[in-house]
Structure 1
Amino acid sequence: MAQQITLPDIQFTDYDVQKILSESLVSLQNKTGKVYEKADPDRILFLALMNEIIQLRVLIDREKKADLLPYAAGVMLDYIGSLYKVERLQAEPATTQLRFNLSTQLSTASTIPGGTRVGVQNADGSIYFTTNQTIIIPPGSLFGTVPATANVTGESGNGFSIGQVNTLMDPLAFVASVSNTTETGGGSNIESDDAFRERIRIAPESFSTAGPRDAYVYWAKSASSSIIDVGLSTPNPYEVVVVPLLTGGNIPGQEVLDAVYESVNDRTRRPLTDLVKVQAPAAVSYDINVKFYISQDKAAESQTIESNVRQAINDYILWQKSKLGRDINPTNLIGRMYAAKAIRVEVVSPVFTEVGQLEVAHETTPNIVYGGLAND
């Protein structure tokens, strides 16, 4: 990865409220020769005006920071991206492959029109997939397969397993059934500020076709806003393996892998000599078996603390699988549980485990036990 320069926080204006009010009041009293008591109307008016000035200082600082990549957000980040010809990735719908099965062999071709809708089982028609093109099932054949796209953008169309998209909403003659042959995937929400900011940061790497590491990372992330991390390896000379990871530590399906492959293999981006492959990360499974106690002194808060500890464990699980190559680290888990005010933590598993750069840690069903109240 390209080295990221670390810079100190910057503040364009001073807006320490107490300091400004105190110094301004002293300055006013020195210039007027008058001591302003707390109930003095002139003092109250002066302080009210100074508060307005302080708010202006805060606004100036915030707006000036918005010109800088580390602080920019929203539309200001879009403007910074435009300087590098980088656009925020918009929300995308999920996709899948649909198989239409005929009730009998026909002597003539059967047409499945483009735009045919197939709903998700038990979804009440709120989410459905539409065929992308018209297909012709030849005479004598019993089925045909066609790509389809969800009616909604975002991640809500992801994760429907094989066979779960099976409700034909536009009845067709001789079609007995329909179902998806691949798990639905590839749907993504609009790119977040953090993800967009990172792509802008590494955008200069994409200006070269000499094969810099971050160029492959940039173009892989450009394939979908649901990609949060990209691993790379070169197992053989001139061979590049690209491994994307999705939001929430999810393993990408074939639709996302295909999109990444198309993005990194564009002839204007890939060096002619590179053989680029795209594959899903390997999951390294680990158990969570923990028991925790809450201080006897905090019995009145025990329900809240128990909830916070359980949330801390969930946050750890998400943290653990949100980056490729992140070693399974029980110390991080214990620290989070103590920070949530557990008084004692007993961890049977996980144990420290190294995770390869093209792998991601995935938890099995957690076993979390609240042991009750204990003495400090």
Structure 2
Amino acid sequence: MTLKLSDLPEVSFTEKDINQILNDMISGYEQAYFEQTGQRKILRPGDPIRIFLYSQALREMQLRIMIEDAAKQNLLKYSRGDNLEGLAAFSRTERFQSAPSKVKMKFNLSMPRSTNEIINAGTRSSPGGEIYFIPTDDVIVPAGATEVEFTTECTQAGTIGNGFLPGQINILVDPLPWIESVENVEESQGGVDVESDESFSNRIHLAPEGFSSAGPTGAYEYFARQFSPLIQDILITSPNAGVVDIRVLLNNGELPSTTFLEDLDKHLSAKDKRPLTDNVQVGAPNTVTYDLDVIYYIRSSDADKEEEMKAKIESAIDDYVTWQRSKIGRDVNPSELMAQIVLAGGKRAEIPSPLFTVINDDEIAIVGIKTITYGGLE
């Protein structure tokens, strides 16, 4: 199992305790004074020289903090920004830049055409506002077709184009007289901002796994994470000889779309990544649905901030729902829900559902019916 960066021990290059620095300065001054004069001198509190040394100790502490930070920039666990880019060069790993989201669109024709038609690259569809999705290449509509599906991408890079549910992108901004309606057939996905230092560090840490073509679990994980920083969790198994089954889960427990999985499959099946004999299968984890039924109570002593406490507790319950679905194979655990409620300031809670449920290694638990009831003050 690959050691995580967070598991590495903490390191320190300098002493930064202000009291220790001051004591060392005072001791050094008293010893130097004795060596020069032959007399013992004690710097007591209030002594002008001691006050001066204290001011110098503060400057020394600030300098040591800067030296400590500069030294740590040579270590992957602590490095950030441009320093992290420098460390990445050793493994030829590049930071992900912002990229647009993609979505599969369906254009419905008003009637079949007698000849092939073309939907030009750059034809805009929109959910409204200033967000547009376009095909990057011309799309040929065969004669006799009543509809055509193709992949489009957002004109703006980043996460702004993510999360539009099927049917929400339904405005054809650049009208075509023979197109009756348009709609997206899946949720828009894949848009990312510039990769964070944390994600970049973890990929650099995995980079040695990719020095040879995929085969070991770590190598397939490295190449999968090389595809997109949206990937939060990966399960890699071999259910049969020669078969590599890869299940991916995106940030905040979001399931990958068909387009995302198709692009990932192409990425992992490239000749420089997949051994010739491997049959790579890419998919989303299987889902298990649970119902959530919670009754929570607040202390009477918090009555003056009752509404604030209710908001915090219900936000904590939502955080639990996200936590529960954010890792493949995570058991349904109501104890975690209780802990979240108490940490948010709740007095207690009754949780009729869910009960503790074991989840298979290739599954994630997704909430179904969610019922949250405020039981009042106690």
Aligned to 1:60: 67
Q: Secondary structure at the match of 1:312?
A: helix
Amino acid at match of 1:63: A
Aligned to 1:86: 93
Report the more deviating stretch, 63-72 or 361-370. Answer: 361-370
Q: Percent identity of the aligned residues? A: 36
Query: Residues 289-328 of structure 1 correspond to what in structure 2 (within 5 A)?
Result: 289-328=293-332
Aligned to 1:14: 15
Aligned to 1:275: 279
How many Å apart are 1:37 and its aligned residue? 6.0
Aligned to 2:242: 238
Residues in 2 aligned to 1:351 and 1:17: alpha-carbon distance in whole angstroms = 52
Amino acid at match of 2:336: N
How many Å apart are 1:42 and its aligned residue? 4.2
Residues in 2 aligned to 1:96 and 1:257: alpha-carbon distance in whole angstroms = 12
Report the more deviating stretch, 214-223 or 300-309. Answer: 300-309
Report the more deviating stretch, 48-57 or 141-150. Answer: 141-150
Query: Does residue 260 of the first structure (1) align with residue 264 of the second (2)?
Result: yes
How many Å apart are 1:175 and its aligned residue? 2.8
Report the more deviating stretch, 218-227 or 280-289. Answer: 280-289
How many Å apart are 1:305 and its aligned residue? 3.8
Amino acid at match of 1:329: N
Q: Secondary structure at the match of 1:364?
A: strand
Residues in 2 aligned to 1:187 and 1:264: alpha-carbon distance in whole angstroms = 19
Aligned to 1:285: 289
Closer, same or farther: CA 162–332 of 1 in aligned 2, 3 Å: closer
How many Å apart are 1:25 and its aligned residue? 3.2
Q: Secondary structure at the match of 2:170?
A: strand
Residues in 2 aligned to 1:24 and 1:369: alpha-carbon distance in whole angstroms = 62
Residue-pair matches, total: 371
Q: Secondary structure at the match of 1:80?
A: helix
Aligned to 2:37: none
Q: Secondary structure at the match of 2:156?
A: strand
CA contact (8 A) 1:86 1:200 kept: yes
Q: What CA deviation, in whole Å up to 9, does each residue of 1:304-352 have, x standing for no partner?
A: 4443333332332222222111111111222222223322222212211
Aligned to 1:213: 217
Closer, same or farther: CA 46–150 of 1 in aligned 2, 3 Å: same
Equivalent residue for 2:107, pick from 100, 107, 127: 100
CA contact (8 A) 1:222 1:263 kept: no
Equivalent residue for 1:181, pick from 173, 182, 185: 185
How many Å apart are 1:372 and its aligned residue? 2.6
Query: Does residue 362 of the first structure (1) align with residue 366 of the second (2)?
Result: yes
How many Å apart are 1:62 and its aligned residue? 1.5
Residues in 2 aligned to 1:293 and 1:27: alpha-carbon distance in whole angstroms = 60
CA contact (8 A) 1:292 1:369 kept: yes
Amino acid at match of 2:26: L
Q: What's the TM-score once normalised by structure 2's chain length?
A: 0.89
Residues in 1 aligned to 2:120 and 2:272: alpha-carbon distance in whole angstroms = 35
How many Å apart are 1:209 and its aligned residue? 2.7
Structure 2: tracts of 5 or more residues without a match: 34-39
Closer, same or farther: CA 286–101 of 1 in aligned 2, 3 Å: closer
CA contact (8 A) 1:78 1:88 kept: yes
CA contact (8 A) 1:154 1:188 kept: yes
Query: Does residue 333 of the first structure (1) align with residue 337 of the second (2)?
Result: yes
Q: Secondary structure at the match of 1:59?
A: helix
Aligned to 2:123: 116
Aligned to 2:194: 190
Equivalent residue for 1:251, pick from 255, 259, 271: 255
Structure 1: tracts of 5 or more residues without a match: none
How many Å apart are 1:44 and its aligned residue? 3.5
Q: Secondary structure at the match of 2:166?
A: coil
Q: Secondary structure at the match of 2:377?
A: strand
CA contact (8 A) 2:124 2:134 kept: yes
Equivalent residue for 1:171, pick from 160, 167, 175: 175
Q: Secondary structure at the match of 2:101?
A: strand
Report the more deviating stretch, 301-310 or 351-360. Answer: 301-310
CA contact (8 A) 2:104 2:259 kept: no
Closer, same or farther: CA 298–169 of 1 in aligned 2, 3 Å: closer
Residues in 2 aligned to 1:295 and 1:181: alpha-carbon distance in whole angstroms = 48
Aligned to 1:200: 204
CA contact (8 A) 1:133 1:146 kept: no
Query: Does residue 2 of the first structure (1) align with residue 2 of the second (2)?
Result: yes
How many Å apart are 1:195 and its aligned residue? 2.3
Q: What CA deviation, in whole Å up to 9, does each residue of 1:136-184 have, x standing for no partner?
A: 3344444443321111222331232233212111223333322223332
Q: Secondary structure at the match of 2:221?
A: helix
How many Å apart are 1:51 and its aligned residue? 0.9
